[in-house]
Amino acid sequence: MSQVDRHKDRQEVPIILTAFGTTAKAFSTYEKMDAVFKEEFPNLNIIWTYSSRMVKYALKKDKNLDLKDPGEVLSELQNRGCQWAVLQSLHLIGGHELHRLAAERNQVDMRLSLGLPLLSSPRDYQEVAKALAPVVQKNEDEAVVVVGHGTDHPSWTSYFALEAIMRKEYGPRVFSGVVEGFPEMEETLDRILKRGFKKVRIIPLMLVAGVHFIEDLTQEEDSWQKTFEAKGLEVSVVPHGVGHLDGVTRVFCRHISEALDVIPL
């Protein structure tokens, strides 16, 4: 059954997508994702919101873009008499940002169905691992390093879980690391060197290739790329976030569909 037929009785339920946001050119990734969401849910009202107040302020100041945060949109919907909405997280793991998003339900007098982040179930990890195939490539002599933002939330183990699932798909050449927290760059680099790899492919495990990608992974003197190259490794870097891959967006589509399913007809 298509998404259109499956949710034809819930066309009055808005879908509120909540991403962290970015001030970089990577905003085009959101546009690419939006096209997939509209293809999957053509008859539903899809509303984008951004959880980073810093990003919102910067874009208002520099580009006069008035982005909405989820609280603002929920208040507007409540004032229009909306009874139900899907609040869909576009975060990658269930960390602090997800908990802050879930707390938004306490600010309005309406029912919300929370759509889970990208990596929330074994099925999610398996589907994401397969969705990354276009950027992993088939070079058995090349280490693949999936680099996430990192967190001090208990969900930090998500990065190792994805590494384990990806190793089942692509073999022991897959490694994980994070910009902030554990496993940090030095830990990941040491593991790669001990395995004897000479080539490394870095995949940003971030929805968009924003500031962290530009500075922490490639540009700064202590960036992942330059640090690895200083150790004699040949490094290539995927130039976009995972949101660029339709297979990743379709995992979010499934989460939206599941969130819609719990709303009574």
Give the C-alpha separation, 29 to 8, whole Å.
28
pLDDT at 216: 83
Please confirm, yes or no, whether 255 is among the known catalytic residues.
Answer: no
The structural domains of the chain, ordered by start, are 3-118+245-262 (3.40.50.1400), 122-242 (3.40.50.1400)
Contact between 169 and 112 (Cβ < 8 Å): no
* Residue 132 token pair: 């990354």
Angle (CA) 113-210-72 rounded to 5° is 35
- DSSP class of 264: -
Binding residues: 149, 180, 212
56 by Cβ neighbours in 10 Å (0-12 / 13-18 / 19+) ranks as: buried
* Residue 30 token pair: 């959101």
pLDDT at 23: 66
pLDDT confidence tier of residue 63, bands split at 50, 70 and 90: low
Give the C-alpha separation, 30 to 9, whole Å.
27
pLDDT confidence tier of residue 68, bands split at 50, 70 and 90: confident
Q: In 11-40, which positions are buried (b, 16+ CB within 10 angstroms) versus exposed (e)?
A: eebbbbbbbbbbbeebbebbeebeebbeeb
Active-site choice (7, 91, 149, 255): 149
Contact between 26 and 240 (Cβ < 8 Å): yes
Task: Return the closest-CA partner of residue 76 out of 90, 91, 62, 66.
Answer: 66
Identity of the amino acid at 193: L
pLDDT in tens, 118-166: 999 999 999 999 999 999 988 899 999 999 989 899 999 999 999 999 9
Task: Return the closest-CA partner of residue 159 out of 205, 122, 121.
Answer: 205
Any idea which of 72-86, 158-172, 175-189, 203-217 has the lowest mean pLDDT? 203-217
Binding residues for Co(2+): 149, 180, 212
Query: Of the ranges 66-75, 109-118, 211-220, which is most confident?
Result: 109-118
Give the C-alpha separation, 191 to 168, whole Å.
18
pLDDT confidence tier of residue 20, bands split at 50, 70 and 90: confident
pLDDT at 60: 65
Who contacts 23 (Cβ-Cβ below 8 Å, separation ≥6)? 55, 58, 59, 62, 210, 211
In which element (H, E) is residue 85 found? strand 84-89
Give the C-alpha separation, 256 to 215, whole Å.
32
